């Protein structure tokens, strides 16, 4: 646009644009400090088996414990962390904290060793040349078996460069960690590739789950994803389950697992200990819901 107007004109810098840039720069400085001071912590949201309400594991979700602003959610900082590369250190902290917390729960509640800890990996982290080594070290430091860890990747991360992604996923799989596709259905997945990747599960995006039970056509998408997953021998986890009716539809469709406010909100590590203390130590069955 500026070019079209010729050499001797210039575009006035919009003051609101300046303040947005300044905000982003301030946030970046703050975030850098927060990571150095370990203000970013993991909260944990339960993942539960749909058929029998058994606790299967947790997803670790980053939270910024800001000294003045209180708890800040990923929507406010993950994108910036990704753009600035800060996600690499942030992600490393979350990965080791999540595995260490799981290990400490196991010392109090031995049945917790059956649980899986899911950790999100962003595109930037997936491109780290030492990712496999980072994961191996975090697992080893925690003393947990690698099968306890599930790495969640979005479709775009996996599909963008399918050939190299496949090699990397094979190397991660060789560590025996589990691999899940996050937010399934919102990106573009080539079905031809999907079955070539060493995946363990698909997480159906919340946008599909929210509409369950409203119209048959809404159920049809989730139904199709579940059938696809079954054909590919993948487990299906439904994200964002908020209503009993949604859980009932998922049950009737044969969905394996569910996660959502209905089953438990993300909670700090201390709250997980209280949750575990209240469960039958043999079955790890949750009492509420369906």
Residue 175: helix, strand or coil by DSSP? coil
Only segment of 48-56, 73-81, 212-220, 227-235 that touches ligand C2E (CB under 6 A): 73-81
Quick one: the chain helix, strand, coil %, rounded to 5?
A: 50, 20, 30
CB-CB contact of 65 with 39 (8 Å): yes
| Minimum gap (Å) between residue 84 Cβ and ligand C2E | 13
| Strand duo 70-72 + 116-120: pairing | unpaired
The single residue among 106, 183, 256, 263 that binds Mg ion, judged by CB under 5 A, is 183
For residues 109, 114, 115, 118, the Cα torsion angle rounded to the nearest 10 degrees is 140
Q: Is 155 in the site for Mg ion (CB under 5 A)?
A: no
| Strand duo 70-72 + 55-66: pairing | antiparallel
The single residue among 60, 99, 126, 182 that binds Mg ion, judged by CB under 5 A, is 182
- CB neighbours of 12 closer than 8 A, spacing ≥ 6? none
Q: Is 154 in the site for Mg ion (CB under 5 A)?
A: no
Q: Work out what residue 155 binds among Mg ion, ligand C2E, none; the CB cut-off runs from 5 to 8 Å by kind.
A: none
What's the token pair of residue 206? 């919340």
Q: Is 75 in the site for ligand C2E (CB under 6 A)?
A: yes
How many residues at the interface with Mg ion, by CB under 5 A? Answer: 5
CB-CB contact of 220 with 249 (8 Å): no
The single residue among 153, 182, 253, 286 that binds ligand C2E, judged by CB under 6 A, is 182
Q: Is 280 in the site for ligand C2E (CB under 6 A)?
A: no
What's the token pair of residue 208? 């599909």
Q: Is 101 in the site for ligand C2E (CB under 6 A)?
A: no
Q: Is 100 in the site for ligand C2E (CB under 6 A)?
A: no
Only segment of 24-32, 49-57, 116-124, 248-256 that touches ligand C2E (CB under 6 A): 116-124
Q: Which is nearer to ligand C2E, 121 or 250 (CB)?
A: 121
| Minimum gap (Å) between residue 40 Cβ and ligand C2E | 8
Residues forming contacts to ligand C2E in the complex (CB under 6 A) are 45, 61-62, 73-75, 78, 87, 91, 94, 120-122, 152, 182-183, 206, 239-242, 259-261, 266
Residue numbers of the site for Mg ion (CB under 5 A)?
A: 120, 152, 182-183, 239
């Amino acid at each position: 646009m500026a070019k079209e107007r010729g050499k001797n004109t210039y575009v006035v810098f919009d003051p609101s644009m300046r303040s947005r840039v300044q905000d982003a720069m301030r946030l970046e400085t703050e975030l850098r400090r927060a990571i150095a001071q370990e203000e970013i912590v993991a909260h944990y949201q339960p993942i539960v088996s749909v058929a029998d309400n058994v606790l299967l594991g947790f997803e670790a979700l980053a939270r910024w414990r800001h000294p003045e602003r209180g708890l800040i959610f990923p929507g406010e900082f993950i994108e910036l962390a990704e753009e600035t590369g800060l996600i690499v250190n942030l992600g490393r902290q979350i990965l080791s904290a999540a595995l260490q917390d799981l290990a400490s729960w196991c010392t109090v509640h031995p049945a917790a060793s059956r649980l899986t800890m899911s950790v999100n990996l962003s595109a930037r982290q997936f491109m780290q040349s030492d990712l496999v080594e980072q994961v191996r070290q975090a697992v080893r430091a925690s003393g947990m078996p690698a099968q306890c860890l599930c790495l969640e990747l979005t479709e775009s991360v996996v599909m963008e460069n399918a050939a190299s992604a496949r090699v990397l996923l094979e190397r991660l799989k060789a560590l025996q960690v589990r691999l899940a596709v996050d937010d399934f259905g919102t990106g573009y997945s080539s079905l031809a590739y999907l079955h070539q990747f060493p995946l363990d599960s698909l997480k159906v995006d919340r946008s599909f789950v929210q509409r369950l039970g409203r119209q048959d056509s809404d159920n049809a998408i989730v139904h199709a994803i579940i059938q696809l997953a079954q054909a590919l021998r993948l487990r299906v986890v439904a994200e964002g389950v908020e209503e009993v009716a949604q859980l009932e539809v998922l049950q009737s469709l044969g969905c394996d697992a569910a996660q959502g406010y209905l089953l438990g909100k993300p909670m700090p590590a201390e709250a997980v200990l209280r949750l575990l203390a209240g469960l039958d130590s043999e079955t790890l069955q949750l009492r509420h819901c369906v």
